[in-house]
Structure 1
């Protein structure tokens, strides 16, 4: 079965196009198509480069593209014509037929668009209505969509507003794809980031190419660190593609409330527990005045546990300072010393 894809009349719009290949001529009618198979992916678009020349006595008025069955030697005409100004899946790169540019862009591709394509030019030969069908065909192969969205992540810092961007693959001018965002915490189901703002944008690059993108704006927090954000792009015909990225949020180190000190038989033990990203470093100013002590540090995920042990005979101090720092800054905490009952004054 033969299907007419596109026909268009004369226009004066100039969008420009480029072609390549070796001209094929028949009775002074010549056509230049791309050499070899043109490959594309479902959901996106494909450009079929084409240029033609005609006999001096022939004046072109419109051109018709056909999609032909591989078993057919010649494509026959049917009545499924599309009028000029068509903005659907198929568009001419140069609607002005007098420029002899027959290149087309086919949008919203599906794998069923694979096949061979043939051109016919209609017009007047010596004042009489006539037409010519070029025998060469160009072959298009459409495979499943493998391209993924492009997700851009700026540096993320706790407490600051951040904007992620997601750009759909392809620079096509067909149906506008739907772009959606989802967030997933560790071991959790997909959900949405609370307080987020999304915005979609379509940028016209040329008369027949567009860039589709979406932004996600939210306030970064420590809970977002290590979680996954996915951008999903949905094209027509239920064709989708998705990209997932992991968020790295830098946040100021904090000293947790379960940090503290205690004295037992003149042995002081202090534990300082701190969280942050990048991983913080814990220091003890108290150790500058002591020659003998032990420090044990353990790390779990983004938490540092530092335990210092030393002998003290003076119990006059009521607290010990713990300093936690990373590239974002430092935080100091005074850890209260807890005395055993036997160490309490007056016991």
Structure 2
């Protein structure tokens, strides 16, 4: 890197000329009484002297300048061997002593050079010291150069800065260089000199640069070098530039400018808008697309406490100064656990959905969350999850059966937590599985046949039960003899307290709900009841007939037995005997069907299992001899067949 050095020269010379008072002798000296020189610079001191009239000086005359404090210290002389080491090479007697000039010069002035000096000449035996004429030399600090203009620089705009050294004699003029820890673009450096009427030279250097934002607060140095001694002057660049922004978030590494920041619901975060600019910018925070200002100027930190979902927007930091404006954004995303899931089929609290058996069912569960939740279905009381597609939140059943009814739970889960919602699935189906409950005196039972029997005069209780959802409406109808249908009961029970023959017939149980309907028929048979007297008479007659029949059979068997035991001649004689007028008893059996007569009655009597009656006719007239006939009589009785 180019690092020029800057040298500044300051030269001050105070002159007072005096005239000696030793005129009577003719020895006078004309020179400055005091000289001021900057440390490291040079000075030329003119001087002349006189000697008495008639006196001359040879060319071999020696001139000497020495200090008054140490007379033996020779600062300058025409005889170099006489000069002390401290001033040798720096103090030079430049005058021609034989021509009565005593001028001398000082270069690279040192602080030790400060003091009073007197002049003396020696020309053989002609010697003289001008002690009445003392020269005072003072050494000052080396002055610094000046840099102008001093003020503001604008980034990207060229500017020319000038370094000016203080005037110095031609023999010790300064050399100017530039330096500093900067990397700005240097367009040109131009060094030149300006000489005044006194012959003093002013060294000047112009530098043209284009500063950038990086050079703000950087030093710029101008150095002036004089014969190995240098001085410098520095300024701090005041570069003005438009704002630039870095957005940083507490607890996060890196810069979040124009990026997304993820925060968990309930957390707090500080978002800093770090602005680099000159001069200072006005800073404000805004949110959303419309840039709604939420912070006053110069508030560079945006504090979000107890973050909620509503805080998940884009925030913009805007910085503006006299040289321009700039903005930086950060998009805040708020993550949170799933809210209570929502089932699309639910329209009320205590979610319940109905499905008709045989149709399809689709339950869609969704939940608001960030990140998106994993959705799964499970049936209450079971450890299984939705086997179809638990991640999509959809539960599909292509063919609904009653097994699909029950309580289901949808669970939404992400890394921040989980939430559930339940739904009851109710399967609707038409009435089915009709059964009849029949009650009689011997108890109630389910009638599996298509008919029931009830004794005339007893009670009848029939109940029709059906399985259906929703519960079916049940009614009873009867098919009359003329073919018409008459509604008997609007409830599931058919209750008749005193059954008559009219109550017999075909009955139909009809069930219906909003899904469908079904029916089932049952036949009621009414059995006619016998009186006690008739039962006794018929029993007596039946017993007598049975005894007579048994006696007749016994007599026949005895006669056959005796016949077999006769001698052959008797048998043969008997075969020739006239025929016997007795004949075998015969039975005439008739079937007579009785009409059932039924009247509904309560279930408090038993049923009669008879369906028909058998009638038997016995004729005993031919069992007796014709010589003694007896009146013939036919007996009838009712024989019950089980």
Give distance in 2, aligned partners of 1:78 and 1:312: 97
| Partner of residue 272, structure 1 | 273
Look at both structures and tell me which one has the larger radius of gyration over its CA atoms: 2
- What is the SS of the residue equivalent to 1:165? strand
Offset at 1:251?
A: 1.1
Q: Is the 8 A contact 1:263 1:269 kept in 2?
A: no
Distance in 1, matches of 2:198 and 2:221, equals: 31
Q: What TM-score do you get using the length of structure 1 for normalisation?
A: 0.60
Check if 1:246 corresponds to 2:244.
no
Q: How does 1:34-73 map to 2 (within 5 A)?
A: 34-35=32-33, 37-46=34-43, 48=45, 67-69=65-67, 70-71=70-71
SS in 1 for 2:179: strand
- Residue of structure 1 equivalent to 2:324: 330
Measure the CA separation in 2 of the matches of 1:290 and 1:76: 85
Find the counterpart in structure 2 of residue 201 from structure 1.
192
Name the residue aligned to 1:125: none
Shift of 1:339: 2.7
1:180 is matched with 177
Deviations along 1:48-98, one digit per CA (max 9) or x if unpaired, are 47688999999xxxxx98533541699997478xxxxxxx99899xxxxxx
Deviation at 1:183, TM superposition (A): 1.4
Please tell me whether residue 137 in structure 1 is matched to residue 134 in structure 2.
yes
1:232 aligns with 2:229: no
Residue of structure 2 in register with 1:284 after alignment: 285
State the alpha-carbon separation in 2 of the partners of residues 338 and 76 from structure 1: 85
Which segments of 5 or more consecutive residues in structure 2 lack a partner in the other structure?
Answer: 1-12, 56-61, 81-89, 95-100, 122-127, 248-255, 337-368, 374-642
Does the 8 Å contact 2:225/2:231 carry over to 1?
yes
More strand by share: 1
Q: How many residues align?
A: 293
Contact 1:42–1:110 at 8 Å: present in 2 too? yes
* Equivalent of residue 222 in structure 1, options 213, 226, 233: 213
Asked if the contact 1:179/1:214 (under 8 Å) is kept, the reply is yes
In 2 relative to 1, CA 220–194 (structure 1 residues): closer, same or farther, beyond 3 Å? Answer: closer
SS of 2:214's equivalent in the other structure is helix
Q: Which runs of 5+ in 1 are unaligned?
A: 1-16, 59-63, 81-87, 93-100, 121-131, 186-191, 299-304
TM-score by length of 2: 0.36
2:163 is paired with a residue of what secondary structure? strand
CA RMSD of aligned residues (A): 5.3
Deviations 1:217-267, CA, capped at 9 Å, x for gaps: 22111111122223222211x222233332221111123373357586599
Higher relative contact order (Cα pairs below 8 Å, separated by 6+ residues): 1
Structure 1 residues 19 and 153 mapped into 2: Cα distance closer, same or farther (>3 Å)?
closer
The 8 Å contact of residues 148 and 242 in structure 1, kept in 2 or not, is answered as yes
Distance in 1 separating the partners of 2:153 and 2:206? 15
Deviations 1:164-207 (A, max 9, x none): 3222344332233232222136xxxxxx7554532222111225
